[in-house]
Amino acid sequence: MRPRLALARAGLLATLSLNASGCEAQAAAEPVGFNCHASSEQLQAWAGTWVEQGFFTKAVQSRQWFRKGPLDSAAPYSELNISADGRKVRLGWNWHEGAEARDDHPEADPKGMVPLPCVGEARQQGQGPAALRLLQLRDPQSGKQGWYQWVAGPGQSAQPAYFKAIFQGCFADERAQRWCFEPEGQLRVGTQVLQAELMLDPIEQTEGVSVLNLQGQRLFWLFKPSADGGWLVERRGWASEPGYRKPNWRQPWHTLRPEALTKPASR
């Protein structure tokens, strides 16, 4: 396991204490339509990981995983995590090591005391397993509020949700070999099937790319979106390793074009 770097601004996360002193720190006047004093029993109904909708949408539309996404958001947080028993609530204001950082850095707030978010309206869009769960949150100090979508259950990583949303479809490389992303977290290259994990810690990688850690591969695979909807692909290790070279996107390891653009037009 590599030692993790602590960034004061890039990975600020705090464990919230749900007790009487926490309630005293909140504003006395509770905004209409919001519950600023939710009990552990009430919070159980929203257990899991919730990501600010604008942050999630921006990552999906740009086809990039990035660490600067939430800085320009008007929402109070980038992420909310509620434990299964509703007794622990953790907030994220930016991304460093993604889902894992919540447990690695509880000391981010020495007092362990930041105001509990005010919980507003809950919605569900669609039906069945694909239904989108939404939750409205408000910060009692700043008054900022936003909508958050559920991406993972308690104790689970948000990584699969981002992989499924960012990596979709089939492509052909310069040798006409087929590359296909599977929603279950797999990458098929020709006849080879590789288990893939989106790296949520971009601190030692080039910005503007999404990095996959593939089973059985020593190097990470870097995917940079191209203008035609395809990908430029490079391979690199950690940036701190001796001899590291920045990717040369003018001469990438592979160039992937959307499959629809590589097939001859029908007559």
pLDDT at position 258 is 96
Q: What are the Cα distances from residue 203, in Å, to 10, 131, 180, 200?
A: 9, 33, 27, 9
* Cβ neighbours of residue 188 closer than 8 Å, sequence gap 6 or more: 178, 179, 180, 181, 182, 194
Q: Which of 81-90, 100-109, 217-226, 256-265 has the lowest mean pLDDT?
A: 100-109
**pLDDT class for 264, splitting at 50, 70, 90?**
low
Is the same domain home to 92 and 220?
A: no
Q: Rounded to whole angstroms, how far apart are CA atoms 113 and 116?
A: 9
* Residue in the structure block whose two tokens are 């009487």: 20
**pLDDT class for 187, splitting at 50, 70, 90?**
very high
- Mean predicted lDDT score pLDDT of the chain: 79
CA dihedral of residues 257, 224, 132, 213 (deg, nearest 10): 110
pLDDT at position 34 is 92
Is the same domain home to 149 and 253?
A: no
Calculate mean pLDDT across residues 214-241: 94
Is the same domain home to 27 and 130?
A: yes
**pLDDT class for 59, splitting at 50, 70, 90?**
confident
Is the same domain home to 48 and 149?
A: yes
Q: Which of 97, 129, 155 is the last residue of a domain?
A: 155
Q: Is the pLDDT of residue 31 over 60?
A: yes
Bigger pLDDT: 96 or 189? Answer: 189
| Radius of gyration in angstroms for the set of CA atoms belonging to the chain, rounded to a whole number | 21
Burial of 237 (0-12, 13-18, 19+ CB in 10 A): middle
Q: Which of 155, 180, 197 is the last residue of a domain?
A: 155
Is the same domain home to 74 and 197?
A: no
Q: Is the pLDDT of residue 70 over 50?
A: no
Number of domains in the chain: 2
Is the same domain home to 87 and 146?
A: yes
Is the same domain home to 27 and 149?
A: yes
**CA angle, 198 as apex, 153 and 68 as ends, to 5°?**
90
pTM: 0.77
CATH code (residue 253):
2.40.128
pLDDT at position 26 is 43
Q: What are the Cα distances from residue 207, in Å, to 38, 65, 153, 225?
A: 39, 9, 29, 12
Domain that holds residue 21: 13-155
